[in-house]
Structure 1
Amino acid sequence: MCDFMTKDQLAYYKGQMEAQIAELEERLNSQASQAIATDTNEMADEIDRASIEEARRLELNRIEHDKLHLRKLRAAIRRINEGDFGYCESCGDEISLKRLQARPESRYCVECQSTKEFNDTHVFRRVA
């Protein structure tokens, strides 16, 4: 069990994430039905069709982002249930409460997250 947080704090974070999950699920259901309902007008000119396709692409990107966020939130709730919530997956240190308040699904402390992002950026640049 998480040693540095009280049961009330864990319940607070779990409640926050459950509310975010409900909001995301509602938005995803709405987006899916809108995507199905949206039809490219065959009478639209080339510019209109391009605009419609760009809007559709942006919507699909948003849907993918929401799905990823949903997976992260569910994983964080699993960590609460398993007693691993609030600990960095890299170094094992406590993740600051300030960071968890901003992003309760955080898996890494600020230092390890910064290192990970730095390494990811540099690996990408070397490959690209």
Structure 2
Amino acid sequence: MALTKTQLEAFEKQLTDWKNELELGQSENVHAMTEQDQTSFPDPTDQASMETDRNFDLRIKDRERKLIKKINQTIERLQDGDFGECDSCGGNISVKRLQARPVTTLCIECKTAQEQEERTRLD
């Protein structure tokens, strides 16, 4: 089942909006971190708490950066005509799956098999 032109345009708009939102958040966070005073707290617990919060924020921003990269790759697939095609089996990815996770590259069957294989390796 191929996606219609309207569906493809809707996915592209959704992905572009999502990317813009993430990029705006990234730039706001960088600005906030550079403006923030590098205050040294007299209490080591307060200092540790501040550093923990900063590390948590950095991990989130790193995940968002990786997501932006995936979004860019998905937009490229959309423009190349490969969007909605499973990288593993070459079959179609269902519209419901694409709506839930537009950056996915695997159909539900291949993703399930991949996750089962990962669990088997961990055991």
Fold in common (TM above 0.5):
yes
Compared CA separation, residues 39 and 121, structure 1 to 2 (3 A): farther
Is the aligned partner of 1:60 residue 2:58? yes
TM-score (norm 2): 0.92
CA deviations on 1:2-37 (whole Å, 9 max, x unpaired) are x61111110000000000011000000011112222
Which residue of 1 is the match for residue 49 of structure 2?
51
Contact 1:89 1:108 in 2 (8 A): yes
Structure 2 distance, partners of 1:122, 1:55, is: 35
Distance 1:116 1:35 in 2: 38
**Which segments of 5 or more consecutive residues in structure 2 lack a partner in the other structure?**
none
The gaps in structure 1 that reach 5 residues or longer are none
The AA in structure 1 aligned to 2:5 is: K
TM-score normalised per structure 1: 0.89
Show the counterpart of 1:102.
Answer: 100
8 Å CA contact 1:76–1:105 kept in 2: the answer is yes
**Cα offsets for 1:41-72 (capped at 9, x unmatched):** 22331000110011001100110110011011
2:64 partner amino acid: D
Structure 2 counterparts to residues 1-128 of structure 1, below 5 A: 4-123=2-121, 125=122
Distance 2:43 2:35 in 1: 20
Q: What is the RMSD computed on CA atoms of the aligned residues?
A: 1.5
- CA–CA separation in structure 1 for the residues paired with 2:37 and 2:30: 13
**Residues 41 and 47, structure 2, Cα contact 8 Å, conserved in 1:** no
Q: Distance in 2 between matches of 1:37 and 1:5?
A: 46
The 4+ residue runs of structure 1 with deviation greater than 6 A are none
Secondary structure at the aligned position of 2:12 is classed as: helix
Aligned length: 123
Q: Which whole-Å CA distance do the structure 1 matches of 2:101 and 2:18 have between them?
A: 11
Aligned to 1:57, the other structure's residue is in SS state helix
